[in-house]
Amino acid sequence: MRAIQFTQYGGPEVLTLVADALEPTAGPGQVRIRVHATAVNPFDYKVRSGMMAAGEELTHAVVLGLEAAGVVDQVGEGVTGVSVEDAVFGLGSATYADNAVLRAWAPKPEGMSFAEAAGLAVAGETALRVLGLLALEPGQVLLVHGAAGGVGQGIVALGVAAGLRVIGTASEVNHDLLRELGVEPVAYGEGMVSRVDHLTHDVSGIVDVAGTQMAELLAIAGAPANIVTIANYAARDAGVRFSGGGGNVQRALTRVAELAAEGKIAVRVAQAFDLTEAAAAHRLSESRRASGKIVLTVT
């Protein structure tokens, strides 16, 4: 099968298309899919660049990819409720390939393309997790810092659907997009605190997706307990909760599929590339300018 792999850490150019990658097999509790589309996440370029390698040399070929949508072609031992030929989306590994194994999945929502569904798992699961930690009540004010990106859009969608008043930080160019999502946009950068103050003095919870401006977010939130970050590990030193995963992801994806079917969550595809253009997709991801998910189309 085809796959995008790399054998040394480096820039996007280390990503190489190979035609003879080994097909994975669905183990117990897993399914294998024919990948129709896979999403590119910031985690992928962090791994590819060696940022997560702690100085260790790479000794084997790596195929990236955390999430995908496609059609089930193999069902692992002990798996029930899903059959060969079912269209699903979910979380797995090595999804930049013709075939990939998923460890958690849900039915692809009707009316959603494979490209749209490919980016739903990470954004949806993360959104459910962080909003669960904040546990806000309808009518309360949620600030999402970095609202226009892939995960940001998932969080604001669920926040709006839950009846929260949602403020989102983004570049000016994305303010109309946020308004369309029911979000009050605010520019990040210098002066962010006073711009938020202009809208409200009553922010009950903040999700930091951008990983920047923690001092300003603390000033807005009033207390570190009102902030959850998914992108600033060091903020734990200030008493801010960092969320990096956990919980029952299978249950979370089932819920994400239900919410998507009800029209309560969708993440815009910022740009779709062919699988063979993975390097270009990584360049866009690293620019941190994509307003939505970056997707690789596989079949």
Ligand X SMILES: NC(=O)c1ccc[n+]([C@@H]2O[C@H](COP(=O)([O-])OP(=O)(O)OC[C@H]3O[C@@H](n4cnc5c(N)ncnc54)[C@H](OP(=O)(O)O)[C@@H]3O)[C@@H](O)[C@H]2O)c1
Q: Which of 149, 123, 166, 156 is nearest to 252 (CA)?
A: 123
Question: Which of residues 5, 38, 99, 285 is near ligand X by CB under 6 A?
Answer: 285
- Cβ 284 to ligand X, closest distance in Å? 9
Nearer to ligand X, 97 or 148 (CB): 148
- Closest distance between ligand X and the C-beta of residue 174, in Å? 4
* Of residues 74 and 243, the one with the C-beta less far from ligand X: 243
Neighbours of 233 (CB within 10 A): 12
Question: Residue 82 Cβ, how far from ligand X at the closest point, in Å?
Answer: 25
Neighbours of 244 (CB within 10 A): 10
- Per CB under 6 A, the list member of 30, 41, 226, 297 interacting with ligand X is 41
Residue type, 123: A
Which of 5, 95, 99, 169 binds ligand X (CB under 6 A)? It is 169
- Indicate whether 188 belongs to the interface with ligand X (CB under 6 A): yes
Told to check if 45 binds ligand X by CB under 6 A, we report: no
Q: Contacting ligand X (CB under 6 A), which of 93, 113, 212, 250?
A: 212
* Of 22 and 53, CB closest to ligand X: 53
Stretch that binds ligand X, among 1-9, 23-31, 247-255, 287-295 (CB under 6 A): 287-295
Residue 140-159 contact track with ligand X, rule CB under 6 A, x = bound: -----xx-xxxxx-------
171 binds ligand X (CB under 6 A): yes
The span of 104-112, 158-166, 207-215, 258-266 binding ligand X (CB under 6 A) equals 207-215
Q: Is 244 in the site for ligand X (CB under 6 A)?
A: yes
Applying CB under 6 A, the span of 57-65, 89-97, 165-173, 254-262 interacting with ligand X comes to: 165-173
Helix H, strand E, coil C: the string for the chain is CCEEEECCCCCHHHCEEECCCCCCCCCCCCEEEEEEEEEECHHHHHHHHCCCCCCCCCCCCEECCCEEEEEEEEECCCCCCCCCCCEEEEEEECCCECEEEEEEEEECCCCCCHHHHHCHHHHHHHHHHHHHHHCCCCCCEEEEECCCCHHHHHHHHHHHHCCCEEEEECCHHHHHHHHHCCCEEECCCCCHHHHHHHHCCCEEEEEECCCCCHHHHHHHHCCHHHEEECCCHHHHHHCCEECCCCCCHHHHHHHHHHHHHCCCCCCCEEEEEEHHHHHHHHHHHHHCCCCCEEEEECC
Note whether 252 binds ligand X by CB under 6 A: no
**231: contact with ligand X by CB under 6 A:** yes
CA 187 from centre of chain: 22
289 binds ligand X (CB under 6 A): yes
Applying CB under 6 A, the residues found at the interface with ligand X are 41-43, 122, 126, 145-146, 148-152, 169-171, 174, 188, 209-212, 230-231, 243-245, 285, 288-291
